[in-house]
């Protein structure tokens, strides 16, 4: 059993200093209850430690990239060797080639790869590529889907206005009206509406952008198949955002699980072994637009960046992919996720707390809801207060998670899963006044 976390003077002082220098004192887009916010000092395997000496089981995994856990020995060794030999050339390297072969080989139908520095940048370039390739300007995304920070996708991620579809609600100030006019929004997991809106807008629509695990809700097979079929029939590109699901749901990404072949795939997170990276992959036919030799042909799309495919990220990424590729990796990840979700389900049933568990691959997300969740609007019917209280109680007991949402790594053991389940039960009992 982990010790109860005691927040000390050091993290408090550092938090106050950070608040002076960083907007809100944080780096992420959501806030966390101030009483449990802390400053981490280091991580190893499935654990993190903060500057006050508290230990946590980590289920955030650096917002998902650390699928092998922290400081994995293979990745760390490769990085040490790399650091001694230069980290940035803005030129192709032998290690980039090895990494590229591995990534392109994993994604069916992919022939070329375009590296970027982050997932957001890859989304931005994929959308520009779709416009350049099709000669059309609009994109369709789904309500509730987060695809990073680029303007074109910063709509209807957490909308509050319940606008009629396909009207987009900006997530933030600062987005030009012209961008808003080029974005359409559809409800997730609704094949009928998706088909209708794609057909109606086919003359202007460059691409449909879909994350197959939007809000951690797995895309329904019929929905994803419909999007694939109707985009193809109407000359619209189907872009699958596998930034979270790539190399996580399966070696070949969520698309191998669904048996669906998008026109372009966006990857990030697990791809870089913990160093910032992103990429898009696709067939020559489309990807050749990114070739600078085509500049004067009217078929060129610019997508360069200083740190794209840099030696550090591709070295860490290659080492991580070599480990992930070992037989049995995904079976173990799935087994741990099943164990956690079964445990949590039983605890909620025994305490008569309504819960819906969303699970796809090694991602487990428990919502305190008594109705099914299939899209953004149905996901709103949940007990947010209980969720927020659980986030605090779990953290106090040494479980670092996004509330009741958990990313499982290859190094989480069944003992840790059971320990986490016990902590979950104690936290829930405490909130319910049962202990
Ligand atoms: C589905 C999805 N796409 C794109 C992104 C953006 O990636 P990055 O944070 O590397 O820019 C994220 C980030 O969380 C994501 O979850």
User: What's the sign of the alpha-carbon dihedral 416, 417, 422, 425?
Assistant: positive
pLDDT surpasses 70 at 162: yes
The reported pLDDT for the residue numbered 2 is 67
Q: How large is the average pLDDT for residues 341-356?
A: 98
Q: Closest Cα to atom 2, ligand 1: which residue?
A: 147
pTM of the full structure: 0.97
Q: Is 244 in the pocket of ligand 1 (CB under 6 A)?
A: yes
pLDDT at 30: 74
Check if 119 has its Cβ closer than 6 Å to any atom of ligand 1: yes
CB neighbour burial string for 80-118, b if at least 16 within 10 angstroms, e if fewer: eebeeeeeeeeeebebbebbbebbbebbeebebbbbbbb
CA–CA dist 8, 234 (Å, integer): 59
383-399 burial code (b ≥16 CB/10 A, e <16): beebbebbbbbbbbbbb
**Mean pLDDT on 207-228:** 98
Over 70: is that where the pLDDT of 1 sits?
Answer: no
The CATH code for residues 73-324 is 3.40.640.10
Q: For ligand 1, atom 10, name the residue with the nearest CA.
A: 119
Nearby residues of 107 by Cβ (< 8 Å), 6 or more positions away:
252, 253, 255, 265, 267, 281
* Statement: residue 87 has pLDDT above 70: yes
Compute, in angstroms, the gap from residue 354 CA to the centroid of ligand 1: 30
User: 76 C-alpha to center of ligand 1: Å?
Assistant: 24
Evaluate if residue 209 carries a pLDDT over 90.
yes
What pLDDT is stored for residue 306 in this prediction? 95
User: Which of 127, 244, 402 maximizes ligand 1 atoms within 8 Å of its Cβ, making it the mutation to test the pocket?
Assistant: 244
Compute the distance from residue 14 Cα to the ligand 1 centre, in Å: 27
When pLDDT is averaged across residues 107-131 and rounded to a whole number, the result is 98
Asked whether the domain spanning 73-324 has the same topology as the one spanning 9-71+328-431, the reply is: no
Name the residue with tokens 């390739």: 133
CATH code 1.10.246.90 for 9-71+328-431? no
Q: What is the mean pLDDT of the chain?
A: 96
40 by DSSP, 3-state: which? strand
Mutate to test the pocket of ligand 1, among 30, 147, 246, 270 (most ligand atoms within 8 A of CB): 147
Is residue 271 within 8 A of residue 317, CB to CB? The reply is yes
Contacts of 201 (CB under 8 A, 6+ apart): 138, 140, 166, 184
Cβ atoms of residues 435 and 429 within 8 Å = yes
Q: Where are the domains of the chain?
A: 9-71+328-431, 73-324
Atom of ligand 1 nearest to the CA of 118: 10
Longest CA pairwise span in the chain (Å): 72
Kindly give the distance from the C-alpha atom of residue 119 to the centroid of ligand 1, in angstroms, as a whole number.
5
- Cβ of 243 closer than 6 Å to ligand 1, yes or no, is yes
Task: Tell me which of 141, 148, 150, 402 to substitute to probe ligand 1's pocket, judged by most ligand atoms within 8 Å of the beta carbon.
Answer: 148
Q: What is the pLDDT of residues 267-298, one digit of tens each?
A: 999 999 999 999 999 999 999 999 999 999 99
How far does the chain reach from its first CA to its final CA, in angstroms? Answer: 17
């Amino acid at each position: 059993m982990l010790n109860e976390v005691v927040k000390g003077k050091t993290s408090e002082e550092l938090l106050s200093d950070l608040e002076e220098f960083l907007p809100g004192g944080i780096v992420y887009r959501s806030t966390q209850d101030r009483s449990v916010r802390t400053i981490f000092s280091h991580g190893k395997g499935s654990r993190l430690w903060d500057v006050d000496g508290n230990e946590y089981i980590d289920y955030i995994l650096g917002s998902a990239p650390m699928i092998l856990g922290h400081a994995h020995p293979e990745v760390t060794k490769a990085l040490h060797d790399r650091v001694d030999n230069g980290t940035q050339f803005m030129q192709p390297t032998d290690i980039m080639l090895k990494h590229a072969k591995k990534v392109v080989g994993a994604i069916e139908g992919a022939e070329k790869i375009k590296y970027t520095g982050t997932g957001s940048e890859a989304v931005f370039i994929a959308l520009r590529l779709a416009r350049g390739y099709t000669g059309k300007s609009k994109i369709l995304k789904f309500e509730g889907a987060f695809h990073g920070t680029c303007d074109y996708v910063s709509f209807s991620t957490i909308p509050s206005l319940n606008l009629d579809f396909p009207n987009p609600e900006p997530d933030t100030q600062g987005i030009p009206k012209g961008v808003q006019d080029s974005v359409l929004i559809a409800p997730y997991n609704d094949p009928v509406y998706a088909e209708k809106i794609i057909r109606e807008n086919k003359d202007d629509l460059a691409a449909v952008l879909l994350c197959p695990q939007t809000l951690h809700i797995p895309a329904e097979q019929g929905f994803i198949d419909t999007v694939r079929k109707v985009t193809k029939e109407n000359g619209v590109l189907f872009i699958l955002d596998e930034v979270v699901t790539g190399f996580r749901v399966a070696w070949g990404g969520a698309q191998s699980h669904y048996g669906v072949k998008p026109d372009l795939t966006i990857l990030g997170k697990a791809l870089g072994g913990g160093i910032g990276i992103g990429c898009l992959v696709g067939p020559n036919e489309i990807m050749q637009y990114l070739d600078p030799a085509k500049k004067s042909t009217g078929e060129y799309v610019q997508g360069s960046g200083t740190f794209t495919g840099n030696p550090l990220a591709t070295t860490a990424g290659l080492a991580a992919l070599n480990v992930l590729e070992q037989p049995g990796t995904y079976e173990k990840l799935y087994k741990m996720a099943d164990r956690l979700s079964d445990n949590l389900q039983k605890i909620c049933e025994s305490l008569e707390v309504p819960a819906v568990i969303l699970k796809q691959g090694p991602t487990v997300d428990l919502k305190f809801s008594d109705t099914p969740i299939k899209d953004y609007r149905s996901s709103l019917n949940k007990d947010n207060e209980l969720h927020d209280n659980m986030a605090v109680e779990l953290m106090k007991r040494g479980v670092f998670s996004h509330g009741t949402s958990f990313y499982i790594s290859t190094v989480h053991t069944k003992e840790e899963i059971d320990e986490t389940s016990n902590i979950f039960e104690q936290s829930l009992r405490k909130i319910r006044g049962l202990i």
